[in-house]
Chains A and B, each alone.
Chain A
Amino acid sequence: EAGVAQSPRYKIIEKRQSVAFWCNPISGHATLYWYQQILGQGPKLLIQFQNNGVVDDSQLPKDRFSAERLKGVDSTLKIQPAKLEDSAVYLCASSLGASGGNTDTQYFGPGTRLTVL
């Protein structure tokens, strides 16, 4: 079974530029998550989708971050404009449950390491 795919794996941009990340979840997984992992910290949720609807985006900085999940499969996360403090690894995860129940296992992709100069 293929895992969660993400691209690109690495990205270097200058502040005020824009960047986009792509995620393809495990086939059949209804729930998709984007996490931000700053060096030395645990991942923090940015946004959670159930199918193509947003379940939780309370920690997404909406003035600069946006995300979509068209057709309930692939997802993109965009940052515009980027700031220095956005340097982090951006992780995509998916889980099977249509309701994203709290016992579901979340499976993670390899992440995209973003460096903002």
Chain B
Amino acid sequence: GNSVTQMEGPVTLSEEAFLTINCTYTATGYPSLFWYVQYPGEGLQLLLKATKADDKGSNKGFEATYRKETTSFHLEKGSVQVSDSAVYFCALTSSNDYKLSFGAGTTVTVRA
């Protein structure tokens, strides 16, 4: 079946630091890859997605590239802000399993 492994947290950074959250996956069929974010007190929101190999998803300064050869979808942001403090989830679906399979989530705290 499908599974996602993402970097354990928590991660604490200073404002303007570089953020990377590693995510690797195993999947049957052809996967689509997602990053969801959960801000404090709010529901899950889609941050970005990529549906085929070598696609780059981007939003709000975050980027992730779908790497089929390394089965990875690492999330990066060049300069974080306090408002980026949240829990980040890597997830996937595949062509023969439409449900989202999530990683355990990574808690990111950005200090001013």
Contact = CB atoms under 8 A, between A and B. Distances in A.
Contacts of B104: 40-42
A102 B34 CA distance: 11
A60 B100 CA distance: 15
A105 B35 CA distance: 11
A81 to B, nearest CB: 26
A75 to B, nearest CB: 16
Interface size class of A (residues with CB under 8 A): 20 to 34
B44 interface: yes
Given A42-B89, A42-B105, A106 B43 contact: no
Interface of B: 4, 29-32, 34, 36, 42-46, 49, 51, 89, 91, 93-95, 97-100, 102-105
23 contacts: A33-B99, A33-B100, A40-B104, A40-B105, A41-B105, A42-B4, A42-B91, A42-B103, A42-B104, A43-B44, A43-B100, A44-B102, A45-B99, A48-B98, A56-B98, A91-B43, A93-B100, A100-B98, A105-B46, A108-B43, A108-B45, A110-B43, A111-B43
